[in-house]
Amino acid sequence: MNWIGLYTLVRKEVTRMFRVVTQTIFAPLISATLYIFIFGTIVGSKIDEIAGVEYITFVFPGILMLNIITASFSHSSSSIFTGKYFKHIEEVLVTPFSHLEIVIGYATAGIVRGVVVAIGVLGIGLLFGAVTLSNAPLFLFYVLSVATIFSLLGMLAGLFAKNFDQLAMLTAFIITPFTYLGGIFYSLSMLPESAQFYTQLNPFFYFVDGIRSSMIGISEANVLVGLMVISGLVLGLGTLVTHLFRIGWRIRQ
């Protein structure tokens, strides 16, 4: 394992993240503050308790998850895509990295950004009194595994996209709808029965439900199914992205 190379790749990516700190850190924190304030404080004060907790407490894990997803996905997708666009991904391709090391390096950087944003959102949640923690190890598991999944998905999107429009298309038509329809702002029980069935087919539902259960101790999904979906996605996406780097899909001519 090229440990120094791997550390350098992560360091370079994290440096890039802090170089555009307004875009990568402050913007999501401002939007999280607005979400918590509007949906938690203004709208939430008019809504009865859900599953025995205040609306702000119920909705906060979803807002946290939304920000982790966006941060991890956008970091790795932009790293790969701009690397292709400016050709500087070649500096990684010509150096003695294994395909797996490249994937681990970019994925770790996306995870780091997801975690940094998560810490910021948790801080804001504490100010609004929205944070509870029921199971800390499970909470860490969900934060890290969801950040990993979206970091890998971001890499996949970065490899796939040939232009900025295709990159935006993936976010607009796949990531955003699946995320918002995964139960960030509502409980499964609020939906009609048929919609409940379709929601349970959405893997994003298990991410939101998992982190919510680790924070407020209430789960609407089958926890075992959720853990299997999450573990399967980490392994499946990791294998797929490593394979695509091995064959040089859309990065090696």
Which of 60, 220, 79, 226 lies closest to 142, judged by CA?
226
22 is a contact residue toward another protein (CB under 8 A): no
Distances (CA, A) of 157 to 171, 189, 237: 9, 33, 12
* Residue nearer to another protein on the CB measure, 97 or 150: 97
Token output for 142? 């969900």
Report yes or no: 146 and 211 within 8 Å, Cβ to Cβ: yes
Could you give the angle at the alpha carbon of 139 between the alpha carbons of 137 and 143, nearest 5°? Answer: 120
Please identify which residue in 123, 129, 177, 248 interacts with another protein, judged by CB under 8 A: 248
Token output for 3? 């440990």
Please identify which residue in 88, 190, 197, 235 interacts with another protein, judged by CB under 8 A: 88
Which of 68, 59, 77 lies closest to 13, judged by CA?
77
Considering the complex, what minimum distance in angstroms separates the CB of residue 236 from another protein?
A: 24
Please identify which residue in 42, 94, 201, 224 interacts with another protein, judged by CB under 8 A: 94
**Positions 118 through 157 that interact with another protein (CB under 8 A):** none
Query: What b/e string do you get for 58-94 counting C-beta neighbours within 10 Å, with b at 16 or more?
Result: bbbbbbbbbbbbbbbbbbbbbbbbbbbbeeebeebee
Token output for 206? 């298990």
Number of residues that bind another protein (CB under 8 A): 31
Considering the complex, what minimum distance in angstroms separates the CB of residue 103 from another protein?
A: 15
Considering the complex, what minimum distance in angstroms separates the CB of residue 245 from another protein?
A: 12
Range in contact with another protein (rule: CB under 8 A) among 15-23, 28-36, 67-75, 196-204: 15-23
* Residue nearer to another protein on the CB measure, 3 or 42: 3
CB under 8 Å to 110, separation ≥6 — which residues?
Answer: 71, 72, 73, 75, 76, 79, 147, 150, 151, 152, 154, 155
Considering the complex, what minimum distance in angstroms separates the CB of residue 11 from another protein?
A: 7
* Residue nearer to another protein on the CB measure, 42 or 94: 94
Please identify which residue in 19, 22, 165, 192 interacts with another protein, judged by CB under 8 A: 19
9 is a contact residue toward another protein (CB under 8 A): yes
Distances (CA, A) of 194 to 172, 173, 181, 191, 201: 25, 22, 14, 8, 11
Considering the complex, what minimum distance in angstroms separates the CB of residue 198 from another protein?
A: 40
253 is a contact residue toward another protein (CB under 8 A): yes
Residues that bind another protein (CB under 8 A): 2-5, 7-9, 11-12, 15-16, 19, 82-83, 86-98, 247-248, 252-253
